[in-house]
Amino acid sequence: MTLRGGHIEIKVEPPGPKAREVVGRTEDLLSPSIARFYPLAVESAHGCLVKDVDGNIFIDFNSGLGVLSVGSTPRPVLKAIKDQAERFLHYSYTDFYYRNIVELADKLCEITPGKSEKRVYYGNSGAEAVEAAMKLARYHSKRQRFLAFSGSFHGRTMGAVSLTASKPHQMRGFMPLVPGVTHVPYPYCYRCPFRLEFPECDYYCVDFIEEQVLEKYVPSDEVSAIFFEPIQGEGGYVPAPEGYFKRLEKALKPRGILMVDDEVQSGMGRTGKWFAIEHYGIEPDMVLMAKGIAAGMPLSALVAKKEVMTWGPGSHASTFGGNPVSAAASLATIRMIEEQKLLANASKVGRHISKRFEEMQEKYGIIGDVRGKGLMIGVELVNDRKTKEFGTKHVEKVIDYSWKHGVLIISCGRSTLRIFPPLVIDLDLADEAVDVVETAIAKSAKS
């Protein structure tokens, strides 16, 4: 089947026989702890198109879970990887020196928000960046506690999952977790935990943190940091309302609480700015990044104000962190974003996609909310707009139909479609994908 634009090609109804074989072997040999959305078995991928082992071609609407920021196998990144791999693959930045991690650190300090002097710590994954930030916050502040948000996702390692609060199964069976974490309500305005309306609420959710948490049972002089996502990822692609983080900063900074900005999913141009927190006008004490930082190579970075990164030699390290091949890939990724004006493209195509879903909202009663920034868009499906009952079955049907008809889309939160294609996507390809998703929504709305 070929649709508008002619990029999608379904030769065999997925999953085809070769995909089923891969899935069977995977279930036999790999950890059952890993959950997958559907049985896609990838053979190759280029740009925004993915080919499975049965020859089906799909439009990538999830960027390999946000990692493929500049699409799959981009030539400038491949060349940088090859050139560096031919020089040397690894030489432990925790013990010795090489140049490209310094060049990358200089660039990361430049593009992260704020004019403060900064320093960089490298790891391999988002969870590693979170763990490093937890340790640094405690080390620098000499305080033990943390604040984090309900609905948040910061990773699955023991420290990171202690901050996470998006799904019960992510921590079931792992207690006790890292002590000293207190979760507070996130400003999920479509489903306000206080049943209030923005802006009439006047940021009561911040007042709640002050009045009901810090002034009642969590001593603020024991809190080292608050960890937050400017736009919650796993929690449902929920952006905080305008002005929220300035209000939060005003409440917490006088108490000496560090602001730790987790941009693992929302950073590296995803929202039309280098980092989502730039939409809110504050300078965090730390910024965490991974996923799209190196176009598919494992790398993460913690960028902190120089005055905060005060730990001494031996305090924290990672043998594979700052791998020179990953650093080369990251520098090439950043250059691609700059030279191809992909921040502007994310804003332009993101607005177009959001507008199309907003138009659908007028036609299909199962679309409760359309939200997000740039190419980080959440479309929340409901059974009833008045009650806002979660439309979990609708989401399952839409995802299943879409991938079987050539669009790779996944969900987040309880019932939200997660729209985050590579930053290189153009309007024609976006429209071809959205056409398929709209057909899926229309079918589910009638069922």
- 195-220 residue pLDDT tens: 999 999 999 999 999 999 999 999 99
The answer to whether residue 370 scores a pLDDT higher than 60 is yes
The average pLDDT across 371-377 equals: 98
pLDDT given at position 4: 57
The answer to whether residue 391 scores a pLDDT higher than 70 is yes
**Which amino acid is it at 414?**
R
pLDDT given at position 2: 41
DSSP, collapsed to helix, strand or coil, labels residue 184 as strand
The average pLDDT across 389-408 equals: 98
Q: How many other CB atoms are there within 10 angstroms of residue 210's CB atom?
A: 15
List, in sequence order, every beta strand (DSSP E) within 134-202: 145-149, 181-184
According to DSSP, the β-strands at 258-262 and 286-289 are parallel
Average pLDDT, the chain: 96
Report the alpha-carbon distance of residue 80 to residue 104 in Å, rounded: 13
DSSP, collapsed to helix, strand or coil, labels residue 410 as strand
The answer to whether residue 183 scores a pLDDT higher than 60 is yes
How big is the CA angle at 14 (ends 38 and 419), to the nearest 5 degrees?
50
Report the alpha-carbon distance of residue 101 to residue 108 in Å, rounded: 10
**Which amino acid is it at 184?**
V
pLDDT given at position 94: 84
The average pLDDT across 253-258 equals: 98
Q: Are 264 and 87 a contacting pair, CB within 8 Å?
A: no
Q: What is the 8-class DSSP label of residue 9?
A: B
pLDDT given at position 447: 86
pLDDT given at position 1: 37
Q: How far is CA 131 from CA 141, 172, 422, in A?
A: 16, 20, 27
Q: What is the pLDDT of residues 135-182, one digit of tens each?
A: 999 999 999 999 999 999 999 999 999 999 999 989 899 999 999 999
pLDDT given at position 5: 67
- Please give the share of the chain, as a percent, with pLDDT higher than 90: 96
pLDDT given at position 163: 97
Q: Which two tokens stand for residue 434?
A: 């959205």
pLDDT band at 12 (very low <50, low <70, confident <90, very high): very high
pLDDT given at position 95: 87
Q: What is the pLDDT of residues 318-330, one digit of tens each?
A: 999 999 999 999 9
- For the chain, count helices (H), then strands (E): 12, 18
pLDDT band at 72 (very low <50, low <70, confident <90, very high): very high
The average pLDDT across 222-242 equals: 97
Of the candidates 268, 277, 285, the residue with the CA atom closest to the CA atom of residue 242: 277
pLDDT given at position 92: 85
Q: What is the 8-class DSSP label of residue 278?
A: G
pLDDT band at 110 (very low <50, low <70, confident <90, very high): very high
The answer to whether residue 63 scores a pLDDT higher than 60 is yes
Q: What domains can you pick out in the chain, each with its CATH number?
A: 35-60+342-446 (3.90.1150.10), 76-339 (3.40.640.10)
Say how many residues make up the chain. Answer: 447
Q: How many alpha carbons lie under 13 Å from residue 328 in its C-beta half-sphere?
A: 20
pLDDT band at 51 (very low <50, low <70, confident <90, very high): very high
Q: Which two tokens stand for residue 78?
A: 């491949």
